Structure 1
Amino acid sequence: MTMPRANNRLPTDFAAALGHAVSGFGFLEEALKRAIFSLSLEGLGKKPDDRALAAFLQRMEEIGDDTMGTLIDQFLAQAGRARIADRKELAADLRRIRHSRNLLCHASWKVSPRKDYWHPSFLNTRGEVYPDDLSVPDLDAIHDLTLATAARIIEIMRATGIEGEWLGASGAVE
């Protein structure tokens, strides 16, 4: 069996938009981790016992290696105790982003017959093939949704009053 010839390089504008979308997923993951931390710490109450504190610290250590899907599930479970006006919409956006992240990070990109489009060759765990071609505006829309959702999660985290330094940041994140 022969391997197909590798694709040519992605066009610069498409590759840049893809890179920005992927970097947005990383920022969202950090926001989710920080929100889980804040919501979990808030849930401990004023005087947690040693067992509760040990379980909290163990879980916080573990979330560093969690996948985006697990982080989303953990955040939504923690956020169930918080008052979130648009919880269903936020959960739906997070599910869309999870799907987009898996697609963009794991696809093999094929040339599309449509000008300025590329096809993500991707088979998910349920055996489904992604049917659509994507363009720079499609990638920009995914990036915009990801950053807007991260901002909503940061607002929820900040509402707990628990915030620290952002990883690698020299100042506060606005």
Structure 2
Amino acid sequence: MARVSDPPETHYTLPLDFAAALGQAVASFGWLEEVMKRALYSLDRARLAGDLSEEELQRWLRHMDDLADDSMGTLVEQLDAALRRHPGLPDRIPLNDRLVALKIQRNLLCHASWRPAGAGRWHPAFVNAKGEPYGTDFSVEDLLATRDETVALGRKIVSIMHATGIPGQWAGDDV
């Protein structure tokens, strides 16, 4: 069988503008995950009774600690469940749909290796969990659009967090 592309041991150095845009997109995913964790804290804390026993409070705090290790996929599911428990919060379904789509984008951008595709575009060498290769090439503008979408979703989640009236706390806030 003839090889269609360069061998896998070929390493390509990304152009600085592309690498910077990729870094900005990936960094925005990290910020979004933090925002989701803070919103989960606020949404869950808002529904807790004021007369919790010390044992109940400690169990809830352990649950919040467990979120620290959760990946974006689990956080999307947890956030959707938390939003369902708060009727009256608008746009839950479209928000969840956008987060699910962004989760796929995150996995791609965080785990792909990159090959030149021509005309300022790069191809992510990435196969999803179903064994399907990713077929679309990326430009700097595509990466910046992903970053902008991620930040917009994060801001939406921050507004939901603020609507609870409880500041979203997270590990490291007291450092």
TM-score normalized by the length of structure 1: 0.89
Return the letter of the residue paired with 2:114. W
Q: Residue 55 of structure 1: CA displacement? A: 2.4
Structure 1's unaligned 5+ residue stretches are 170-174
Structure 2 residue aligned with 1:98: 103
Return the letter of the residue paired with 1:109. W
Alignment partners' CA distance in 2, 1:81 and 1:101: 27
Task: Check 1:157–1:76 CA distance in 2 against 1; reply closer, same or farther (3 A cut).
Answer: same
Alignment partners' CA distance in 1, 2:157 and 2:11: 37
Structure 2 residue aligned with 1:24: 28
1:86 is aligned to 2:80:
no
Secondary structure of residue in 1 paired with 2:162: helix
Report the RMSD for the aligned CA atoms in angstroms: 1.8
- What is the aligned counterpart of 1:139 among 140, 143, 159? 143
Structure 2 residue aligned with 1:68: 72
Whether the aligned pair in 1 keeps the contact of 2:41 and 2:168 (CA below 8 Å) is: no
Structure 2 residue aligned with 1:159: 163
1:148 is aligned to 2:152:
yes
Whether the aligned pair in 2 keeps the contact of 1:17 and 1:140 (CA below 8 Å) is: yes
Return the letter of the residue paired with 2:72. M
Q: Residue 36 of structure 1: CA displacement? A: 0.5
- What is the aligned counterpart of 1:111 among 106, 111, 116? 116
Return the letter of the residue paired with 1:79. L
Whether the aligned pair in 1 keeps the contact of 2:41 and 2:169 (CA below 8 Å) is: no
Return the letter of the residue paired with 1:117. R
How many residues are matched?
166
Alignment partners' CA distance in 2, 1:38 and 1:100: 26
Secondary structure of residue in 1 paired with 2:160: helix
Alignment partners' CA distance in 2, 1:107 and 1:8: 12
Q: Residue 127 of structure 1: CA displacement? A: 1.1
Q: Which has the higher contact order (CA 8 A, sep 6+)?
A: 2
Whether the aligned pair in 2 keeps the contact of 1:7 and 1:111 (CA below 8 Å) is: no
Alignment partners' CA distance in 1, 2:169 and 2:76: 21
Whether the aligned pair in 1 keeps the contact of 2:42 and 2:168 (CA below 8 Å) is: no
Whether the aligned pair in 1 keeps the contact of 2:39 and 2:168 (CA below 8 Å) is: no
Q: Residue 48 of structure 1: CA displacement? A: 2.1
Structure 1 residue aligned with 2:3: none
Task: Check 1:108–1:128 CA distance in 2 against 1; reply closer, same or farther (3 A cut).
Answer: same
TM-score normalized by the length of structure 2: 0.88
